[in-house]
A and B are shown apart, each in its own frame.
Chain A
Amino acid sequence: MENLTQSHTPIVFRWDLDKTYLQTEFESLRELVRIPFEKPEDKVTIPGVIPLIHGLRRVAEAQGRVVGIYFISASPPQIGKAIRDKLALDGVQVDGIIFKNQLRNIRRGKFRNLREQIGYKLTELLKQRASFPPDCEEIMFGDDWESDPVIYSLYADVINGRVSIDELREILTTAEVDEELVGEACELAAQLEHVDSVRRIYINLERRTAPTEFARFSDRLVPAFDYFQTAVCLFSESILDEPAVAAVAQKLIEASAYTPARLANSLNDLRRRVRLDEPRLEVLRESLMAAALLPAPPVVVIPRPSFWQRAKKRLRALAQRWRHKPVVTAEPPAALQIDYRALMSEWRQLREGAVR
């Protein structure tokens, strides 16, 4: 962490591992048992995630920012070596990985904690946050499989002070988190300086949950159906550049049966759901079209503006990019008071319903 404190604009990307980075299958007991015996080369990543992470580091460094990439997993540390080897194989430079000490839970007879996610992840995120510089920005990546949207949002609102310590205790108790973990989380939260550092939460819709289900989490949380959508959002916020988005798009074409038309569909879907920086998006669209990653204009439904409109937009985008360096151009998302007490019970029911 020493290198992070040296910068005045550090940025940290915090990733969940299973279903966000890795295409881990744990729906059946057989799949669950197989995980510890998987070799690094057998583990499969979600299409587009590797070029996305490469792009995040490269662009942040090019912007003169100190960058950290961290993973958090609910898997035990016993499979840590295989995971680290896999990340090394993928060329992903990692600054830290947290694993869940399941043996400790078993030894202490805390069997409920084996499956519990909210208390575990929140505590670990807060613990790690304490080692980051206070002005550090965070972008978080999770999935719709379990409770990442709830955990990340709660984490963000605890560190920005919107959720008080008393409220946090009540929320975690409602979620039936282990008493010891509740105490630890509250203690950690009390030590943190209040900073609105979580810029965005990206949720990979691995189980294709309906996007409207995430409306309750505010604009800070962006549900994305594929990593092309995530990359486009990050581009819109100047966190990624055009080559990085193109690399993600290329990977989806190679590994996920995408075509330029399907990428265009995905892009249009995102534009209908998420407010993006349209002038920047226009620049991106043209560059992707030039690289044949989006279909030629007649097929694309987005109306093509006139030459002057395009030139104006391009100039505006270039000027914006020039003016802010290092940059995060877009305004932080509007804050929304999330009713975590209601959310805890509703979300659990929703997840259980989806599993059934």
Chain B
Amino acid sequence: MPTIAVDAMGGDFAPEETVRAVAQISLETDIDTILVGDEARLQPLLHAISYHPARIHLHHTPEWIDMAEEPKAAITAKPKASILEATTLVASGQADAVVTAGNTGAAVLACAEHFRKLPGVRRAALASVYPRQTEYTGQDQLALLLDVGATIRCEATELVQFALMGSAYASRVSKVGNPRVALLNMGAEPSKGGEALVEAHHRLSSASGIHFIGNIEGHDLAKGKADVIVCEGLLGNVVLKMLEGLAELIVDLADTAAKENWRWKLGLRALESGFGKLRDLTDYAAYGGAPILGFEHLLIKAHGRSTAKAVANGIKVAAKAVRDGVTTEIAASLQQV
């Protein structure tokens, strides 16, 4: 039974939604949680809903970092911030992993401050999952994209390490036995891209224990070609934000069209069930969150707008990763190269 430290104060809807998530987890699973945050705010919220007290530990901390705060300055100014306390609890062995829906930069810095990197790892990677087409029955509807912002520029060694870490994580946590790994590039040919990408391609092609399929281009992202897509942080972040922006644009367009023309409205009504399925597929609440990889301990970063359902799923993902020994698996896969 793993113990997960939950940053109760992180996220747009915290602490209400994080408290509800932890209460739900305490009733439905055997996962122990440590709710890290302002006890005066958490306690009344908890006592007003159903929960199992034996599985929840409240860890008081008077400070937290808001979503809009500059991460570096906030971490320095608030040494007792909930995300820092949560990572401390894991580092000291009182918890096994962290879940936060809070400030991403602060989460990465908190990991860097309290967790040791896995042997040989040069840079940590922030992963994210996004929905895509599936090519065969049973394929996970979500692909893992890393890095999406922890490391701005990468060398070949770092890209190779990201590929290995992403593959090990996906094989344990996603429903993919032998995940297909690809490099995000401007062409499929091995010689495309900069020096780092060419070298990474070369090294991954000859690496054992990884199912490397080569380069994929931007238009392949939405297809089911690869399960783990590797790129440097700057590019990954741009891709991720573009995907989110595109989804919002589609929704906006549909809304505007429906308001302006009754035929469009009728058409959209006819497609309602299809949109529902699409919404389910793109519902970030269902997948819970994505990991920061490269450290001896795991942090699952849930979406900033996470509801209780999303945070609860993030906790389940973290618990599964702990049970399946994901970090050990990652360390082992890194040693092979």
Residues of A within 8 A of B (CB): 207-212, 225-226, 229, 257-259, 261-266, 268-270, 272-273, 299, 301
Contact between A210 and B50, CB atoms less than 8 A apart: yes
Q: Could you list some 24 contacts between A and B, CB below 8 A?
A: A207-B50, A208-B27, A209-B50, A210-B48, A210-B50, A210-B51, A212-B47, A225-B53, A226-B53, A258-B54, A261-B32, A262-B55, A264-B57, A265-B54, A265-B55, A265-B56, A265-B57, A266-B54, A268-B53, A269-B53, A269-B56, A270-B53, A272-B47, A301-B58
Contact between B57 and A208, CB atoms less than 8 A apart: no
Interface residues on B, range: 20 to 34
Contact between B47 and A273, CB atoms less than 8 A apart: yes
B49: which of A210, A259, A261, A269 is its contact (CB, 8 Å)? Answer: A210
Q: Which B residue sits closest to A272, measured CB to CB?
A: B43
Contact between A262 and B32, CB atoms less than 8 A apart: yes
Which chain A residues lie closer than 8 Å to B47 at the CB level?
Answer: 210-212, 272-273
Give A258 to B30 CA distance when docked, in angstroms: 10
Q: Which A residue sits closest to B60, measured CB to CB?
A: A301
Contact between A208 and B51, CB atoms less than 8 A apart: yes
Asked, given contacts A210-B47, A272-B43, whether A263 binds B27 with beta carbons under 8 Å apart, the answer is: no
Q: How distant is B323 from chain A, measured CB to nearest CB, in Å?
A: 16
Residues of B within 8 A of A (CB): 1, 3, 27, 30, 32, 43-44, 47-60, 94
Which chain B residues lie closer than 8 Å to A265 at the CB level?
Answer: 32, 53-57
Contact between A301 and B59, CB atoms less than 8 A apart: yes
Q: How distant is A235 from chain B, measured CB to nearest CB, in Å?
A: 17
Asked, given contacts A208-B27, A299-B94, A301-B59, whether A225 binds B54 with beta carbons under 8 Å apart, the answer is: yes
Q: How distant is A257 from chain B, measured CB to nearest CB, in Å?
A: 7
Which chain B residues lie closer than 8 Å to A262 at the CB level?
Answer: 32, 54-55
Contact between B58 and A268, CB atoms less than 8 A apart: yes
Q: How distant is B286 from chain A, measured CB to nearest CB, in Å?
A: 25
Contact between B53 and A266, CB atoms less than 8 A apart: yes
Contact between B57 and A301, CB atoms less than 8 A apart: yes
Which chain A residues lie closer than 8 Å to B49 at the CB level?
Answer: 210
Q: Which B residue sits closest to A270, measured CB to CB?
A: B53
Give A226 to B48 CA distance when docked, in angstroms: 18
Which chain B residues lie closer than 8 Å to A299 at the CB level?
Answer: 94
Give A209 to B48 CA distance when docked, in angstroms: 9
Which chain A residues lie closer than 8 Å to B1 at the CB level?
Answer: 259
Contact between B55 and A212, CB atoms less than 8 A apart: no
Give A263 to B54 CA distance when docked, in angstroms: 6
> Would you call the interface of chain A mostly helix, strand, loop, or mixed?
helix
Asked, given contacts A262-B32, A273-B47, A301-B59, whether A208 binds B54 with beta carbons under 8 Å apart, the answer is: no
Q: Which B residue sits closest to A295, measured CB to CB?
A: B94
Q: How distant is B81 from chain A, measured CB to nearest CB, in Å?
A: 18
Q: How distant is A66 from chain B, measured CB to nearest CB, in Å?
A: 35
Q: How distant is B307 from chain A, measured CB to nearest CB, in Å?
A: 19
Which chain B residues lie closer than 8 Å to A266 at the CB level?
Answer: 53-54
Q: How distant is A157 from chain B, measured CB to nearest CB, in Å?
A: 25
Q: Which A residue sits closest to B3, measured CB to CB?
A: A261
Contact between B94 and A208, CB atoms less than 8 A apart: no
Contact between A257 and B56, CB atoms less than 8 A apart: no
Give A47 to B55 CA distance when docked, in angstroms: 16
Which chain B residues lie closer than 8 Å to A258 at the CB level?
Answer: 54
Q: Which B residue sits closest to A207, measured CB to CB?
A: B50
Most A CB atoms within 10 A — which of B48, B57, B60? B57
Which chain B residues lie closer than 8 Å to A207 at the CB level?
Answer: 50
Contact between B59 and A208, CB atoms less than 8 A apart: no
Contact between B43 and A208, CB atoms less than 8 A apart: no
Which chain A residues lie closer than 8 Å to B54 at the CB level?
Answer: 225-226, 258, 262-263, 265-266, 269
Which chain A residues lie closer than 8 Å to B50 at the CB level?
Answer: 207-210
Contact between A268 and B57, CB atoms less than 8 A apart: yes
Q: How distant is B8 from chain A, measured CB to nearest CB, in Å?
A: 15
Give A264 to B53 CA distance when docked, in angstroms: 10
Q: How distant is A339 from chain B, measured CB to nearest CB, in Å?
A: 21
Which chain B residues lie closer than 8 Å to A263 at the CB level?
Answer: 54
Give A257 to B54 CA distance when docked, in angstroms: 10
Give A202 to B47 CA distance when docked, in angstroms: 17
Q: How distant is B4 from chain A, measured CB to nearest CB, in Å?
A: 13
Which chain A residues lie closer than 8 Å to B59 at the CB level?
Answer: 301
Q: How distant is B331 from chain A, measured CB to nearest CB, in Å?
A: 27
Which chain A residues lie closer than 8 Å to B48 at the CB level?
Answer: 210, 212
Which chain B residues lie closer than 8 Å to A261 at the CB level?
Answer: 3, 32, 57
Q: How distant is B172 from chain A, measured CB to nearest CB, in Å?
A: 25
Give A270 to B57 CA distance when docked, in angstroms: 12
Give A269 to B53 CA distance when docked, in angstroms: 6
A-B contacts besides A262-B54, A265-B57, 10 pairs, CB < 8 Å: A210-B48, A210-B49, A212-B48, A225-B54, A226-B53, A258-B54, A259-B1, A261-B32, A261-B57, A269-B56
Which chain B residues lie closer than 8 Å to A257 at the CB level?
Answer: 30
B52: which of A208, A270, A272, A273 is its contact (CB, 8 Å)? Answer: A208
Which chain A residues lie closer than 8 Å to B57 at the CB level?
Answer: 261, 264-265, 268, 301
Which chain B residues lie closer than 8 Å to A301 at the CB level?
Answer: 57-60
Which chain B residues lie closer than 8 Å to A272 at the CB level?
Answer: 43, 47, 58
Give A225 to B49 CA distance when docked, in angstroms: 13
Most B CB atoms within 10 A — which of A225, A259, A265? A265
Most B CB atoms within 10 A — which of A208, A259, A268, A270? A208
Which chain B residues lie closer than 8 Å to A268 at the CB level?
Answer: 53, 57-58
Which chain A residues lie closer than 8 Å to B56 at the CB level?
Answer: 265, 269
Give A301 to B30 CA distance when docked, in angstroms: 21
Q: Which B residue sits closest to A354, measured CB to CB?
A: B50
Most A CB atoms within 10 A — which of B47, B48, B51, B58? B47
Give A301 to B27 CA distance when docked, in angstroms: 23
